[in-house]
């Protein structure tokens, strides 16, 4: 995770000794933007799809080894750490892609290096602060979380490793240079090590601390691979470039402060909407219900992965199109991809209803059969999220960070309000219905904001 390769060299005379092919990779070629998105998507689906398949396999080992209640405790620890990370985390890769494209188009490798160093320091500072906060929470409030005394140290060790497994900067560098094939290999490290670790633990020590160590170690290993590949990608494209005076990135990238905090808010609200229901279910209904909810949530995530694939692949090209042509260059990409996502929505819903229960029984056995009602509702919510997969990248690429902040805030507020209202009345299943209601509300807001941008672009 050493950022030094981005911080050394001559500021005035960068070394251009990288290959022509690597340098060309950072600039749009003659291939149409939609075709480039499809190419990027192929690598993303390859990496994430591989991970999704393995995740179902190691999820089966994990749930069968721990049982419903222990798996619920495991889920509570993971969700708490994710929320803590999100509170002090910036989605740095979006800044790197948006402003990095502009630096590359101007041929400003020094400005790009300063931006990378600035983002690296911000990530490390937030990780350090998050770990200190985690230590304080565990020291003073372990009982409030229902954490057994023998799990406090394993939980703190997990949080420490996980919080410093920060891949925002190297991920952004690889996407900026269109090195999606390299990112494929780095992403594949996590599910591969989790799968191997779960196999070893299942037959030797199937305990909750053992699985926490496996989860944390796999994240850190992937982080190290990401940094190595990102350093190599930058050097091939730009040579050795100094990043002195890195604080200039704050002022020389127009709109960086607002986008930085918008990305933080977007990360917080997204993580809250994904993880807070798990904590609330644990508070109102106990660890066993958490286990059922979390399993259904994990399986439903296979649908939101598709939304994430399209969002990741399209954001780079939308940012590039906006840098070259303004909003008019973004509109055709958004329109075409949205039609595809809506069609997938109509295909996926009946498949989930018909095959959801057999899949659950195959993964985790009869003990987790009660997760099926959760799965149907959460899958419908995931499909709504999939339908809006192109809205957020278009808002970010077109500089509508403020609108995105308001939408994410409204969606998070709707989820919290609905969950608090439905959980006491309906029990744990109320959290799933609250998630569906919040996603419906978010869909309306995102499409409304996107349509406003479309009208603006057509009239300009």
pLDDT digit string (tens) for 28-79?
Answer: 445 555 565 556 555 555 556 677 778 888 988 999 999 888 888 888 888 8
Structural domain includes residue 249? yes
Q: Report the alpha-carbon distance of residue 257 to residue 255 in Å, rounded.
A: 6
3-state secondary structure 238-287: HCCECCCCHHHHHHHCCCHHHHHHHHHHHHHHHHHHHHHHHHHHHHHHCH
The answer to whether residue 383 is domain-embedded is yes
Q: pLDDT value at position 72?
A: 86
The answer to whether residue 453 is domain-embedded is yes
CA distances from 38 to 32, 307, 312 (A): 10, 14, 11
High-pLDDT (> 70) share of the chain, %: 76
Give CA separation, 427 vs 37, 90, 240, 431, in Å: 43, 34, 58, 8
pLDDT at 423 over 60: yes
Instruction: Return the higher-pLDDT residue of 324 and 7.
Output: 324
CA distance 112 to 100: 6
Assess if residue 297 is contained within a domain.
yes
pTM given for the model: 0.68
**Residue 8 covered by a domain:** no
| Number of structural domains in the chain | 1
- pLDDT tens for residues 253-300? 776 766 666 666 666 776 777 777 888 887 777 778 888 888 888 888
Inform me whether the pLDDT recorded for 312 exceeds 90.
Answer: no
C-alpha span between 82 and 78 (Å, rounded): 6
Mean pLDDT (whole number) for 310-331: 65
Q: What is the pLDDT of residue 322?
A: 66
DSSP letter at 10 equals B
Q: For residue 16, tell me if it sits in a domain.
A: no
218 pLDDT above the threshold of 90: yes
**Is residue 13 in a domain?**
no
Instruction: Print the domain residue range for 400.
Output: 31-459
Look at residue 260 and tell me if it is in a domain.
yes
Burial status of residue 94 (CB atoms within 10 A of its CB: 0-12, 13-18, 19 or more): buried
Position 457 pLDDT exceeds 70: no
pLDDT number for residue 199: 94
pLDDT of residue 213: 92
């Amino acid at each position: 995770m050493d950022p030094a390769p981005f911080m050394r060299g001559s500021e005035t005379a960068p070394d251009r000794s990288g290959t022509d092919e690597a340098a060309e990779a950072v600039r749009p070629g003659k291939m149409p933007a939609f075709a480039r998105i499809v190419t990027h998507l192929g690598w993303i689906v390859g990496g994430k799809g591989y991970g999704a398949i393995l995740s179902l396999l190691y999820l089966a080992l994990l749930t069968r080894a721990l049982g419903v209640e222990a798996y619920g405790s495991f889920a509570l620890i993971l969700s708490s750490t994710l929320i803590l990370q999100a509170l002090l985390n910036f989605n740095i890769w979006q800044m790197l892609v948006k402003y990095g494209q502009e630096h590359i188009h101007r041929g400003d490798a020094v400005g790009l290096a300063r931006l990378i160093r600035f983002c690296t320091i911000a990530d490390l500072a937030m990780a350090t602060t998050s770990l200190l906060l985690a230590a304080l929470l565990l020291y003073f409030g372990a009982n409030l979380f229902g954490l057994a005394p023998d799990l406090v140290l394993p939980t703190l060790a997990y949080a420490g490793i996980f919080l410093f497994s920060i891949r925002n900067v190297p991920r952004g560098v690889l996407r900026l240079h269109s090195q999606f094939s390299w990112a494929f290999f780095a992403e594949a490290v996590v599910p591969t090590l989790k799968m191997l670790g779960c196999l070893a633990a299942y037959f030797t020590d199937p305990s909750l601390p053992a699985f926490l160590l496996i989860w944390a170690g796999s994240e850190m290993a992937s982080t190290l691979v990401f940094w190595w590949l990102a350093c190599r990608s930058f050097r091939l494209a730009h040579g050795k470039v100094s990043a002195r005076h890195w604080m200039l990135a704050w002022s020389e990238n127009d709109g960086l402060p607002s986008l930085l905090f918008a990305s933080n808010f977007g990360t917080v609200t997204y993580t809250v909407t994904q993880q807070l229901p798990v904590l609330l279910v644990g508070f109102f209904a106990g660890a066993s219900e958490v286990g059922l909810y979390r399993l259904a949530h994990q399986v439903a995530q296979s649908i939101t992965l598709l939304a994430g694939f399209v969002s990741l692949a399209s954001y780079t090209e939308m940012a590039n199109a906006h840098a070259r042509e303004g909003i008019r260059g973004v509109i055709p990409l958004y329109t075409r991809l949205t039609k595809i996502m809506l069609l997938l929505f109509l295909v996926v819903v009946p498949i989930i209803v018909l095959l959801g229960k057999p899949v659950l029984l195959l993964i985790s056995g009869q003990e987790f059969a009660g997760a099926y009602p959760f799965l149907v509702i959460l899958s419908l919510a995931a499909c709504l999220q999939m339908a809006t997969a192109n809205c957020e990248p278009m808002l970010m690429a077109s500089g509508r960070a403020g609108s995105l902040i308001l939408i994410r805030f409204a969606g998070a507020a709707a989820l919290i309000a609905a969950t608090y209202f439905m959980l006491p009345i309906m029990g744990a299943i109320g959290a799933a219905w609250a998630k569906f209601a919040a996603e419906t509300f978010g869909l309306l807001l995102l499409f409304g904001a996107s349509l406003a941008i479309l009208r603006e672009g057509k009239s300009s």
